[in-house]
Amino acid sequence: MNVAVIGLGLIGGSLLRALAAAGHEVTGFDADPGTRALAAESGFRVAGSASEATGGADVVALALPLPVLPEVLPSLAGHDGLVTDVTSVKTPVLDLARKHGLPRFVGGHPMAGKETSGFAAADPALFNGCTWVLGLEPETALDDWLILAALCATLGARVVPATAAEHDRAVAQVSHVPHLLAAALARQLAGNPLAGALAAGSFRDGTRVAATRAELTAAMCGGNAVEVEHTLHAVLGDLHHLHDLLEMPDPIAALIPPLAAAADLRRAWPPHPADEAVEMPADAGRLLALGRAGGWVTAVSEDRATLTTMRPETGLNRA
């Protein structure tokens, strides 16, 4: 398959490397001349412009920050190949794709990354075992979705079908607000050398993503502002409740029930996959039901008529 990757940072660079390793014909482009030079020096085909990279591509993968997409999407309005992206918020990108008339757009979001960024940090194994959300909307051609699902699955990803709205609500809860909480915790170090000396595992784990570039965190949280606000409001409610429990006559006893409930939820995550994979026919409604149940696609048959799926439950699961 001929794939163009626009944007060669951590995710785009990793995608370029992974696709090339899987035997695909890949062309990359990045607006930064230094990044283009680094990718070319690493042996990859690098175009001099986005239009040069996308010409004749079967799939165009946009690995760009949300604020940059309005500048790029208009140039793809006449592209007859598949277009996808890797942005961490989906509704604004879907709106842009509809606005600019991209007939074969399927939004995507690989839930993979690290604190480091740039092409130098790119890793072809980054997507192995990761969750890769692919948007499935009423106007999405099922065959286009299946083409991308098969491509992502060959990179080792667990492909989860979801609408843009469902995706944005979920990532606000498990990704975007955790970035804000990590930032708030990291700020406890300001002017506090004793705390910095005492900080250990719980602080390290709770603040890891605070090291993410501020521009990236701001783009994903600001781009998903409505859902982030809803989730943040709920989390603040939980924190206020814990604060109130600390003022009880016996705060230790008062804190145990909510903390025990949270501990049970965390110990049960990540969910164990089913004992066996289940085959199901390719059907949009059944795919969305699979995603809502926490399930994923692991493989697509060559004729794209049958999917191999897993669910996060013990035992055989019939879709």
Contact 236, 229 (CB under 8 A): no
Does the residue 134 lie in any domain? no
Domain with 263, as residue range(s), is: 168-267
Same domain as 8, residue 88: yes
Q: Does the pLDDT of residue 259 top 80, yes or no?
A: yes
* Token pair of 106 as six digits: 């399927």
Instruction: Indicate if 22 and 105 belong to the same structural domain.
Output: yes
Given the DSSP bridges, would you call strands 105-106 and 82-85 parallel, antiparallel or unpaired?
parallel
In a domain, 288, yes or no: no
The dihedrals phi and psi of 52, each to the nearest 5 degrees, come to: -65, -40
Strand partners, 113: none
Domains of the chain: total: 2
| pTM of the predicted structure, to 2 decimals | 0.92
205-221 pLDDT tens trace: 999 999 988 998 998 99
- Give residue-wise pLDDT tens across range 22-69: 999 999 999 999 999 999 999 999 999 999 999 999 999 999 989 999
Residues 183 and 260 in one domain: yes
Residues 46-75 as b/e (b if ≥16 CB within 10 A, e otherwise) read: bbeebeebbeebebbbbbbbbeebeebbee
Q: In terms of domains, do 174 and 64 share one? A: no
